Amino acid sequence: MTDRIGKPISQRQLRVGEMIKQSLSMIFLRNEAKIPDLETKTITVTEVRMSQDLKIAKAYVLPLGGKNTEESIQKLKEYSYIIRKILSQKVIMKFLPKILFRKDESFEYAEKIENLIKQSNK
């Protein structure tokens, strides 16, 4: 597996990414981050990709059912400092990474590919 620059992803990046993914999932599930007008229990964290230096974490998220995706991600970006503060109590690291929230488009991409395969089989 490689990152977008072409360098292989290290085991450390994978481990830290998985640890942050699990912690974020628990924070959202327990609604520990009190974000106004956002029900975090419906947010799914599908993947967290770490930068080489472990200072940036890209969290790919998707609201349940894909409803209000853009608004939810905007709220998460706006209140990321709250989420990061709670995360700092759960994850012990020398430097807690900055969290960038992104829409997970892998399900849409998989559905598109599946539809193309179905069309070619007809």
What number is the average pLDDT over the span 57-69?
85
- The CATH number given to whatever domain includes residue 109 is 3.30.300.20
Question: Is residue 24 assigned to a domain?
Answer: yes
Domain around 48: 11-121
**pLDDT at residue 115, as a whole number:** 80
Please return the burial class of 38, using the count of CB atoms within 10 Å of its CB with bins 0-12, 13-18 and 19+.
Answer: buried
pLDDT digits (tens, 9 = 90+) for 41-54: 888 899 999 999 99
> For the chain, how many structural domains are there in total?
1
Question: Is residue 23 assigned to a domain?
Answer: yes
* DSSP strand pairing (43-50 vs 98-103): unpaired
Question: Is residue 4 assigned to a domain?
Answer: no
Lowest mean pLDDT among 3-17, 26-40, 95-109: 3-17
Task: Please tell me the pTM assigned to this model.
Answer: 0.80
What number is the average pLDDT over the span 76-105?
89
Question: Is residue 100 assigned to a domain?
Answer: yes
